[in-house]
Structure 1
Amino acid sequence: MNKNTLILAVAGLACLLAGPLAAETPKEEQEAFQTYFKKRFPNVPEDDFKNGAYAIDPVGRENWEAIEEFPPYENSISNGETMWNKPFANGKGYADCFPDGPAIQGKYPYWDKARGLVVTLPLALNECRAANKEEPLKYQKGPIADLVAYIAFESRGQITKVEIPEDDPRALEAYQKGKQFYFARRGQLNFSCAQCHLGNSGTKLRTEILSPALGHTTHWPVYRSEWGEMGTLHRRFAGCNEQVRAKAFKPQGEEYRNLEYFLTYMNNGLELNGPGARK
């Protein structure tokens, strides 16, 4: 794809996704989104997008594969398994809230029609705790990241399949709000999510290769060397906002849940392979 063709493709996709919902359905937007990245990176197998920047960065991938031989998130998985199996004070446990077992990440996020909101996995876990008179876990790191790491590990191989119920316009509105968030410029640097991970995906920002948005939600939670610990997807959302010198939103607030809903829907069809390790 030459430079002029790339500029036209980016502009066309941005107009398509940022335009009124009356013009395109979410399914058509998803197809355009995925087709854009497949054409932008024609040598990347479709399923490899789940590996983020390492799908397009051979040097980084070599280092990452070496790290994955002794992954830094192993302790988190173990800690999360212990948490899953440890009864609450009332004698019940997570299994009472999630009777299908820990391999449940593929079910999230989803639209809860009864309450009219997007439910993410961390939110559901804390709601389980609240129902059993347990204190909520903080959403960015620590025990919640360990618990989700265990669930992600047990869920490896599941396919992303977020649904937007056609019979509930509120679900479409949540998707739309997430989409608007993704394309909105914010902060002192006046950057949007799309500027880095759509139009400039594959290019370098300082020493970092900007990862393509296709695959962004498949491998969380993540152990980042920069953090020296595990972190959740909403921690990364907050960090990105702060990098453009904008005030971060509340983790698991409506803004980030809707963003996760939109972005995960864009990644439908990709395999889940969390937890992950990144720089």
Structure 2
Amino acid sequence: MKKLAIAALCALVANGAFAAKKATDTTPEEDLKTYRDYFFKRFPGVPLQEFANGIYAVNEISRQNWEAIEEFPPYEPMVEEGEEMWNTPFANGKTYGSCFNDDPAQRKHYPHWDDQRKTVVTLPMAINECRVKNGEKPFKYAKGPITRILAYMAYQSRGQTIDVKIPNKDALAAYNKGKSIYWARRGQLNFNCGSCHVQSAGQHIRANVLSPALGQASGWPVYRSKWGELGTFHRRFKGCMKQMRAKPYKPQSEEFRDLEYFLTHMSNGIKFNGPSARE
């Protein structure tokens, strides 16, 4: 049965058959087991927790360079800026702590399904809602100041275990929508997300190594050498879709939040380790 499930996953990657109606064919629990089994077979000997490190879990040369960078991490000043933002009162005298129980280590709570609003809530979304609630303007979602406060909160959350819940049928519908977006072929290249991060994980595309999908939700926000700055998870979603030559959704759109919900669930059991540095 395990081999059949893995074969089915590979077939879906190969032919892009994961249409919306197909997303309901398996449960989140079955998806997670199949996902892990696939990557454990593809990269034998790599422990589950190591997948939090992306390509550095599966490529030794890249890992050596990364370990050298992490001795003086480029995101460290941004974490310090985020701490200052956390402690600086808004114009009304309140702080971010008033929205987050005075505890910046909130990563384990996001993304989650909000049953009252019938939507997936992400941490960047909650940060901007906190700002608006306190009379401040919302941040842009892809880069800039929001990455600083995210970096600080992520740093304080290191070691928390990803444990995304799918509590009811409405949450399941959002999860399945995210799954469908992940596997849908799009753009001039007719790729889906799994074309690179499942089927071709660990392989080179030009000078870059393609990261395994397992664990990809753990390290955000990320300082990418290509960007020369911190960026959010949804900035990377947008960039990937552009590389497929497809029209991307907007950061924090319902589509990208559902995609994050699916992808983060597929990293359940792995510890958060953001912020992180990547190529």
The TM-score normalised by the length of structure 2 is 0.93
Give the deviation of 1:202 after TM superposition: 1.3
Matches of 1:23 and 1:251 in 2, distance apart? 28
Question: Quick one: which amino acid aligns to residue 48 of structure 1?
Answer: E
User: C-alpha deviations, 1:18-69, integer Å up to 9, x for none?
Assistant: 6735532111111111111111101212210000011001000000000000
Equivalences for 1:35-184 in 2 at 5 Å? Answer: 35-166=37-168, 169-184=169-184
Matches of 1:110 and 1:164 in 2, distance apart? 8
Q: 1:233 to 1:114 in 2, by over 3 A?
A: same
Q: Which runs of 5+ in 1 are unaligned?
A: 1-5
Contact 1:186 1:192 in 2 (8 A): yes
Contact 2:242 2:248 in 1 (8 A): yes
Contact 2:222 2:232 in 1 (8 A): yes
Matches of 1:45 and 1:93 in 2, distance apart? 39
Matches of 2:12 and 2:191 in 1, distance apart? 19
Matches of 1:13 and 1:225 in 2, distance apart? 29
Query: What does residue 198 of structure 2 align with?
Result: 198
Q: 1:16 to 1:242 in 2, by over 3 A?
A: closer
Equivalences for 1:195-234 in 2 at 5 Å? Answer: 195-234=195-234
Give the deviation of 1:204 after TM superposition: 1.2
Q: Which runs of 5+ in 2 are unaligned?
A: 1-5
Matches of 2:24 and 2:81 in 1, distance apart? 47
User: C-alpha deviations, 1:117-160, integer Å up to 9, x for none?
Assistant: 00000000000011111000010111100110000000000000
Question: Quick one: which amino acid aligns to residue 271 of structure 2?
Answer: E
Alignment RMSD: 1.8
Mean Cα displacement is larger for which, 66-75 or 7-16? Answer: 7-16
Query: What does residue 277 of structure 1 align with?
Result: 277
Contact 2:24 2:176 in 1 (8 A): no
Q: 1:224 to 1:12 in 2, by over 3 A?
A: closer
The TM-score normalised by the length of structure 1 is 0.93
Matches of 2:155 and 2:255 in 1, distance apart? 27
Contact 1:238 1:251 in 2 (8 A): yes
Contact 1:13 1:32 in 2 (8 A): no
Query: What does residue 243 of structure 1 align with?
Result: 243
Mean Cα displacement is larger for which, 154-163 or 197-206? Answer: 197-206
Contact 1:48 1:55 in 2 (8 A): yes
Question: Any idea what SS the aligned residue of 1:38 has?
Answer: helix
Query: What does residue 260 of structure 2 align with?
Result: 260
Question: Quick one: which amino acid aligns to residue 92 of structure 2?
Answer: N
Query: What does residue 3 of structure 1 align with?
Result: none
